Every structure is written in C-alpha cells, then in structure tokens.
C-alpha cells in the first residue's frame, strides 16, 4: 500500500517554525519509507484564514526545499462532504443536536470554575425527544452537532514516538462539537476534529505526524474513525519546540516565522538541518552537518525524543556558519552582492567581489553579517580611540610614511598578496621595524582599529579599490 503523509496547516498566520518542523519530519519520514508528502490547507476558520497566509506557507515550504507530491487540497472545498458524514453520524445515533445557548454554556463554565473543575460539557441535550427538538427550533434556537463520548471508555493507541497512549473518555471535555451553529435542521460548518478525519481518510493518509499539542484531538478523532468505520492511520506526536526557559516557543522569543529567519540571513539548508536535530537524536549520525537527503536516509521516528526540544540560537548560528563556509564562493558572492546593492555599494570588479566574499565568509554566522563586515571595504572607517592611541604611542606615523614613500618611489599601484607581503618584509628590514608593529599600524590606517580581517588580503582588495593610499595618508596628519 502506498504510504502517504501530510502537513495540514491552518492559514491563520505566517508560516511558523513549529509548523515547518512538523512539515520537515513528515517530509523526511515520507522520503525514508518511500512514501508521498502531501499538503492540506485547513482553511475552514473563515474569520482567521487568509489566502496570503496560504501563499506564505507554500512559499516557505518551497524555500526550505520541502516539495510536495500532489496538488494541495483545500479543506474549504470539501465542506459539503464533511456535512454528509455529520449527517451519517446523526442518523446512526452517534451524534445529536445540542441547542444549548452561549449564555447557558457560559453559566455552566462559571459553575465549574467556582468548584475548581475543568471545563466540560454536561451533554444536556443528548436524549431530547422529537417534541423537545421541535420546540427549541420553533423558539428560534440554533444548534450545533455533538458527537457522543462515553465517560467510561478508554482510548488506546501505539504512538510511533511516545509509545502506548491511553486516554479516558471522561477527560475529553464531554460530547464533542462537530459543527458550528445552524438554524432549524441544517448542519453548520464542520469543525477541525471532524474535518481532519474525513480528509485524512479521503487522502488515504497512512501516517499522521503532528505536534504533541494534538494528542487529545487524536483520542477524539480515533472515536470518530471508529464510529464511521474508517481505517485508522498510525499516529506520531512530536515534542514541541521550547524556548530556553522551557516554555513553548512563541512570538516573544523574537522570531518564529520562516520569513523572519530568511530575512535574518539564514540559509534554508542550514535551517532545515538545524530543525531536523530539534528533537531528533539519531543513533547513526556521524556529524551534525547533514543534507536533507542524508538525513532522510537515517531518519526514524523511534529516534525522536519524547521530551520538548529547546531552541538554541547559538547552535543554529553555528550550523548556518558551517553552510556559509561550505558554500560555493560565486554563489555566496551573488547573495552578498544583493546586500551591497541594497546599501548602494558597488564592487570594483567581479573578481574583487569574490575575493572579499572568500575573505569574510569564515567569520560570518548570518548572510546579513556580510553588510557589517564588508562595510570598511566600501566606506572609510573612522579611527577609533585604540587606533589613535596606538598611532600616538608608537612610531607608527613614521612607519606608515615609509610605506607611502616605498610605494611612491616604485610607482606601485595595484598589489597582490605576494607583492604586499614582499613590501612589508622589505620595509621592515630596511628600517629595522618589527613586522608586527608595521602591520598593526597599517591595520589602523585601513580599518581604524586593531581588529579585522586578514591584513594582506585586505590590502590587496583596498589597493584594487584604490583606497589604500588615502587611508594611509589620513594617518599622517
């Protein structure tokens, strides 16, 4: 039988890291078992669902490299089918109309609250007579459809991640609402738990992998599967992503949407690599830097942790830096050039852009770091206090003058690394200056401070952009 997995996002917000990780686990497992990865857009919450969020989710999946295998399904296209199943449940007596008003339900909740009890419906309309129903309808009351959940049953399943899970009927909050309010004998729009069962069945989903916040929904859904005599998929509930304090990762933790990660300069390959290890501890991985393809070969649900996974920026940054280091330099340079373009910075040549990319990439965590790190190659950096002190307290100015004179006498304009090294060696010998001090002086002239990228390579680049001499000259006055 074909193995079929799905992501069923609700388009009520931007593509969230939690949903992305669920997508990734589904995608990886589908690849691992030779199955298909499908998408169903759960857009039946008409007030909160927006087509721009659907677009954002699909674009985010594409950006991450998680391709789906069939045209995505829209839940809202299937409402009449959901309703026909609700009708079936009504007809077989597994569901009934409940006419309790919002006020009556609020009153019940208040009473329960006073007694310190959890919210639970009291199933008051489970056995209404035909006459009672008629009366409610004639009073103009609307009704929802509720699915009967017996108090004394136990729902058990073998979760592929958590192992055996047992849930008691009495802990499911009373009879389950399947549809929104409707007038007369109409059936209102279907709600999540009903629609999921019908659609997973329609899509022939064999494996459901989703966040552990859905565990109690699974218990309810299993009862609906059974009442309709539908084939059950296997269920796997993944641990949630937590912040460093151990609470569910939320907007307060700075970024949570995939777009934001993209804008901050994370590479999709790095983000998926990081997300895969969020809650997954493979026995057989020899490195934490693994492509999706490699991960999919060793991925197994049994290696997913039961406990929540803490999100670490430090680890993500490290993984991102590893991908930046490994990236083909022309490709990386193309990305970095877009940032330069936004800043209005123009590299003197293609070759120069690639050389600067290579020079900077080892110290970059994020693609965006390229802006700050390449800035001193485009704009003259001011001389900072440590630089000024150094120039005053050493014979730096004289040394810098030696360099200028040397270049002037020999009419040296464009330098390469070898030439720059040779010049420094010669000047240090000619004037008996320690090479270290000579280099520090030059560094201050170029960057205004004592830290920065490799000096010789920087000199080569600054000489090509014709700003090395003026940077040295400014220190002499």
Chain residues that interact with ligand GLU, rule: CB under 6 A: 8-10, 42, 196, 210, 214
Q: How far is the CB of 226 from ligand GLU (least distance, A)?
A: 17
> Cβ closer to ligand GLU: 64 or 359?
64
Q: How far is the CB of 25 from ligand GLU (least distance, A)?
A: 11
> Cβ closer to ligand GLU: 196 or 301?
196
Residue 102 CB coordination number (10 Å): 9
Give the C-alpha separation, 209 to 456, whole Å. 54
Instruction: To the nearest 10°, report the CA torsion of 278, 279, 280, 283.
Output: 110
Q: How far is the CB of 45 from ligand GLU (least distance, A)?
A: 9
Closest to 65 (Cα-Cα) out of 246, 335, 270: 270
Which distant-in-sequence residues (6+ apart) come within 8 Å of 118 by Cβ?
112, 173
Q: How far is the CB of 212 from ligand GLU (least distance, A)?
A: 11
Residue 419 CB coordination number (10 Å): 15
Q: How far is the CB of 10 from ligand GLU (least distance, A)?
A: 4
Instruction: To the nearest 10°, report the CA torsion of 265, 267, 270, 274.
Output: 50
> Cβ closer to ligand GLU: 198 or 276?
198
> Cβ closer to ligand GLU: 42 or 464?
42
- Using an 8 Å Cβ cutoff, are 146 and 96 in contact? yes
∠ CA 277-54-233 to the nearest 5 degrees? 60
Q: How far is the CB of 43 from ligand GLU (least distance, A)?
A: 9
Which distant-in-sequence residues (6+ apart) come within 8 Å of 334 by Cβ?
none
Give the C-alpha separation, 299 to 32, whole Å. 7
Give the C-alpha separation, 230 to 263, whole Å. 44
* Distance, C-alpha 384 to centroid of its chain: 39
Q: How far is the CB of 214 from ligand GLU (least distance, A)?
A: 5
> Cβ closer to ligand GLU: 8 or 89?
8
Alpha helices in 327-454 (DSSP H): 329-343, 350-361, 369-378, 385-393, 396-410, 417-430, 435-447
> Cβ closer to ligand GLU: 137 or 215?
215
> Cβ closer to ligand GLU: 10 or 320?
10
Q: How far is the CB of 80 from ligand GLU (least distance, A)?
A: 20
> Cβ closer to ligand GLU: 235 or 459?
235
Interhelix angle for 468-476 vs 455-464, to 10°? 110
Q: How far is the CB of 9 from ligand GLU (least distance, A)?
A: 5
- Three-class DSSP labels, 300-355: CHHHECCCCEECCHHHHHHHHHHHHHHCCHHHHHHHHHHHHHHHCCCCCCHHHHHH
Q: How far is the CB of 17 from ligand GLU (least distance, A)?
A: 13
Question: What Rg do the C-alpha atoms of the chain give, in angstroms?
Answer: 32
| Phi-psi map region of 163: left, alpha, beta (phi>0 left; psi -120 to 50 alpha) | left
Which distant-in-sequence residues (6+ apart) come within 8 Å of 147 by Cβ?
89, 94, 95, 175, 176, 177, 178, 194, 220, 223, 224, 227
∠ CA 212-215-220 to the nearest 5 degrees? 155
Q: How far is the CB of 41 from ligand GLU (least distance, A)?
A: 9
> Cβ closer to ligand GLU: 22 or 467?
22
> Cβ closer to ligand GLU: 193 or 333?
193
> Cβ closer to ligand GLU: 196 or 433?
196
């Amino acid at each position: 039988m074909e193995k079929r997995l799905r992501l069923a996002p609700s388009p009520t917000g931007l593509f969230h890291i939690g949903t992305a990780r669920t997508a990734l686990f589904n995608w990886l497992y589908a690849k691992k078992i030779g199955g298909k990865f499908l998408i169903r857009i759960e857009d039946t919450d008409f007030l909160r669902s927006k087509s721009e969020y659907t677009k954002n989710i699909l674009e985010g999946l594409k950006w991450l490299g998680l391709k789906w295998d069939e045209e995505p399904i829209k839940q809202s296209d299937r409402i009449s089918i959901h309703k026909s199943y609700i009708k079936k449940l009504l007809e077989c007596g597994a569901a009934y109309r409940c006419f309790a008003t919002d006020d009556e339900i609020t009153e019940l909740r208040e009473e329960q609250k006073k007694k310190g009890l959890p919210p639970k419906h009291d199933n008051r309309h489970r056995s209404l007579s035909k006459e009672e129903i008629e009366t409610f309808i004639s009073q103009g009351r609307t009704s929802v459809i509720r699915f009967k959940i017996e108090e004394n049953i136990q729902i058990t399943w073998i979760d592929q991640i958590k192992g055996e899970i047992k849930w008691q009927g009495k802990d499911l909050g009373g009879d389950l609402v399947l549809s929104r309010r409707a007038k007369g004998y109409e059936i209102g729009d279907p709600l999540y738990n009903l629609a999921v069962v019908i659609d997973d069945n329609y899509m022939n989903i064999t494996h459901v992998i989703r966040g552990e916040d859905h565990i109690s929904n699974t218990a309810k859904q299993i009862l609906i599967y059974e009442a309709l005599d539908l084939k059950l998929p296997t269920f796997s509930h993944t641990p949630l992503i937590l912040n460093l304090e151990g609470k569910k990762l939320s907007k307060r933790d700075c970024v949570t949407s995939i777009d934001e990660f993209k804008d901050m300069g994370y590479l999709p390959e790095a983000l998926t690599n990081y997300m895969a290890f969020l809650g997954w501890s493979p026995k057989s991985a020899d490195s934490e830097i693994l492509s999706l393809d490699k991960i999919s070969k060793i991925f197994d649900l049994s290696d997913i942790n039961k406990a929540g996974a803490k999100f670490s920026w430090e680890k993500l940054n490290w993984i991102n830096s590893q991908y930046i280091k490994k990236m083909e330099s022309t490709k990386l340079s193309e990305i970095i050039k877009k940032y330069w373009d936004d800043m209005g910075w123009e590299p003197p040549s293609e070759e120069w852009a690639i050389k600067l990319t290579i020079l900077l990439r080892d110290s970059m965590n994020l693609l965006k770091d390229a802006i700050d790190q390449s800035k001193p190659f485009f704009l003259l950096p001011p001389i900072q206090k440590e630089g000024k002190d150094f120039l005053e307290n050493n014979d730096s100015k004289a040394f810098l003058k030696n360099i200028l004179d040397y270049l002037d006498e020999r009419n040296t304009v464009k330098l390469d690394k070898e030439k720059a090294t040779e010049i420094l060696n010669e000047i240090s010998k000619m004037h008996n200056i320690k090479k270290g001090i000579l280099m520090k002086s030059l560094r201050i002239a170029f960057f205004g401070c004592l830290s920065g990228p490799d000096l010789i390579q920087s000199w080569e680049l600054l000489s090509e952009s014709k700003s090395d001499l003026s940077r040295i000259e400014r220190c002499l006055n």
